[in-house]
Structure 1
Amino acid sequence: MRMQRERGISLIGLIFVLAILGGIGLLAMQVVPTYIEYRAILGAIERAKKDGGENIKEIQDSFNKSAEVGYITAIQGRDLLIVRENGQFEISFEYEKKIPLAGPASLLMEYKGTTAKEGAKKKVAE
């Protein structure tokens, strides 16, 4: 009688796979909220452009109101780059979010966005 070889995953293999999935899950739990906030900022600058008004201060105030309602803490109205192009305002932003992982290791997320159709404009040195 021949012995059949058992197939499947061993206990150590299962623990290893669960550890990898747990690490990915923990990382996702830290990255996903920053992405959700980024999407909220994109929506807030679109609303600020639409509802903002005739000057930069009104646009910043409109963004700050949306930020307060949308729990946006990464940037404020004063952090926005607002320029007038072709008779209308275009709003841009850029920020970094640093997520600590373990010890000295961290993950740096760089976010930027704009209301301009042709993409983000380069900042002019002040």
Structure 2
Amino acid sequence: MTTRRFGAAGAAPSRQRGLTFLGVALVAVAVVLLATVGLQSALVVKEYLTIRKAATRAVRESATPLDVRAAFDRAAAIDDITSLAGRDLDITGGAGQGLAASYSYSREIHLAGPVSLLYRFHDSVK
């Protein structure tokens, strides 16, 4: 005769559930990788927003294309913008028309080995 073990109050034994150690380790690695890529991407987006703000201010406060480039370079030095310089701005318009500046650049985030994430930005401001 075999005896069966029962849980509390005569109920059938409960089956254990949950993650194994390997499962927890894989989830932790995935979370760390996603957080790393997310934080690096956040820095790239922050730089893009800083560039947009500096270009907008330079266009609004300047009267000539040379003034726009100089104002952008001053803002780039203050805000530590390294992806773009005043000479990279394509400035259109002139006296009486209002100025507009457009720019494009790319940033690459190295992930591992030959794998990288490339961001391409193109924008124009008035």
TM-score computed with the length of structure 2 as normaliser: 0.85
How big is the alpha-carbon RMSD for the aligned residues of Structure 1 and Structure 2?
1.4
1:66 paired residue among 75, 78, 86: 75
Identity %: 27
Q: CA deviation at 1:77?
A: 0.2
Q: Is 1:92 aligned to residue 102 of structure 2?
A: yes
Who is 2:117 aligned against?
107
Who is 1:11 aligned against?
21
Report the AA paired with residue 76 of structure 1. Answer: A
**Helix, strand or coil at the partner of 1:92:** strand
- In structure 2, what is the Cα distance between the partners aligned to 1:113 and 1:84? 16
Higher Cα radius of gyration: 2
Who is 1:35 aligned against?
45
Structure 1 unmatched ranges of 5 or more:
117-126
Runs of 4+ with >3 A deviation: none
1:22 paired residue among 25, 32, 57: 32
| Superposed CA offset, 1:23-78 (max 9, x none) | 001112221111111000000011001112x2111110000111111111100000
- In structure 2, what is the Cα distance between the partners aligned to 1:74 and 1:65? 14
- In structure 2, what is the Cα distance between the partners aligned to 1:78 and 1:3? 74
